């Protein structure tokens, strides 16, 4: 049984206008959209795979997977049995609002509470391009630099929550978690920070609990 993945690509337009259209659409449909932003390999797709069972039910969920090429990430999420579409930029390093908007129009928005967009792996322009989301979530793994928040302040300043992934690897790395948390706090003292491992499941409950509250 091979399920079909809807693929969207090559839609560009005045970004702010499309983001605003999306905000109106989502408000009308009482659906919340969040925008996951992190480096390639930060563990965004793994986080979605593992968060799903903690969120749905009660949340009715859909995912829009953003990538430069391939439908690999959308395929990974097919077993979750939720609507998943693949957005391909064909080279661009961020998702544009128009592309997201068209993918949203094909989702059963009347029956959805939360749409999670996984942006293209990149810490710079995804933070600059409004896609009409309610919140940006910064995703950072412990295999990256502990000073990431200082180096990419826009994303961390704008984030409504910060997720630090791959906690299970901490014993094997020189990564100082306290220094990382301090850096995040320096840029954004408001956002809750969730330190978790999608592999072991540690810390996932707190993250999912927060998201559930947020998605209501
Ligand atoms: Mg991914
Ligand atoms: Zn870009």
pTM over 0.85: yes
Q: Which ligand is nearest to the CA of 198?
A: 1
Report CA(165)–ligand 1 centroid distance (Å): 13
Quick: pLDDT tens for 38-95.
Answer: 999 999 999 999 999 898 888 999 999 999 999 999 999 999 999 999 999 999 999 9
What is the gyration radius of the CA atoms in the chain, in angstroms?
A: 16
pLDDT at residue 57, as a whole number: 80
* Domains of the chain by residue range: 11-214
**What is residue 38's three-state secondary structure?**
strand
Three-state DSSP class for residue 10: coil
Q: How many angstroms separate the alpha carbon of residue 15 from the centre of ligand 2?
A: 12
Instruction: Please identify which residue in the block is written with the tokens 């999306």.
Output: 22
Q: Is the pLDDT of residue 216 over 80?
A: no
Gap from CA of 19 to ligand 2 centroid (Å): 16
pLDDT at 2: 59
Mean predicted confidence (pLDDT) in 108-125: 96
Report, as an integer, the average pLDDT of 182-190: 98
Of the pLDDT bands very low, low, confident and very high (cuts 50, 70, 90), residue 1 is: very low
Q: Answer yes or no: are the C-beta atoms of 126 and 155 closer than 8 Å.
A: yes
- Among 3.40.50.620, 3.40.50.1470, 1.10.390.10, 3.40.50.300, what is the CATH number of 11-214? 3.40.50.300
Q: Is the dihedral of CA 203, 34, 161, 58 positive or negative?
A: negative
Across the range 200-207, mean pLDDT stands at 97
Output the CA 204–ligand 1 centroid distance in Å. 18
Q: What is the arithmetic mean of pLDDT over 114-126?
A: 97
pLDDT, position 153: 98
Q: How far is the CA of 105 from the centre of ligand 1 (A)?
A: 22
171 C-alpha to ligand 2 centroid (Å):
34
> Strand 159-165 relative to strand 61-67: parallel, antiparallel, unpaired?
unpaired
Centre of ligand 2 from the C-alpha of residue 56, in Å: 31
Beta-bridge partners for 140: 164
Q: Are the CB atoms for 120 and 132 separated by under 8 Å?
A: no
Minimum-distance ligand to the CA of 129?
A: 2
What is the average pLDDT score of the chain? 95
> What digits encode the pLDDT tens for the residues 146-161?
999 999 999 999 999 9
* Nearest-ligand number for the alpha carbon of 93: 2
Ligand nearest to the CA of 126: 2
Ligand 2 centroid, distance to 125 Cα (angstroms): 4
| Ligand having the closest approach to the CA of 45 | 1
Ligand nearest to the CA of 95: 2
Distance from the CA of 131 to the center of ligand 2, in angstroms? Answer: 13
């Amino acid at each position: 049984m091979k399920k079909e993945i809807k693929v969207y690509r090559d839609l560009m337009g005045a970004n702010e206008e499309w983001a605003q259209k999306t905000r109106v659409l989502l408000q009308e449909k009482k659906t919340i959209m969040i925008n996951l932003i992190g480096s390639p390999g930060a563990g965004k797709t793994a986080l979605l795979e593992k968060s799903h069972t903690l969120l749905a039910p009660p949340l009715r969920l859909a995912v829009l997977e953003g990538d430069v090429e391939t439908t690999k990430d959308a395929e990974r999420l097919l077993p979750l049995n939720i609507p998943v579409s693949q957005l391909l930029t064909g080279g661009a390093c961020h998702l544009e609002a128009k592309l997201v908007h068209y993918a949203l129009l094909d989702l059963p928005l009347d029956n959805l509470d939360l749409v999670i967009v996984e942006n293209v792996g990149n810490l710079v322009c995804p933070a600059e391009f409004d896609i009409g989301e309610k919140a940006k979530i910064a995703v950072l793994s412990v295999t990256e630099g502990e000073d990431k928040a200082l180096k990419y302040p826009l994303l961390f300043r704008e984030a409504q929550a910060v997720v630090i992934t791959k906690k299970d690897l901490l014993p094997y790395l020189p990564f100082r978690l306290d220094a990382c948390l301090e850096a995040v706090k320096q840029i954004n003292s408001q956002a809750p920070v969730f330190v978790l491992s999608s592999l072991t499941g540690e810390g996932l409950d707190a993250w999912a609990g927060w998201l559930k509250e947020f998605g209501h």
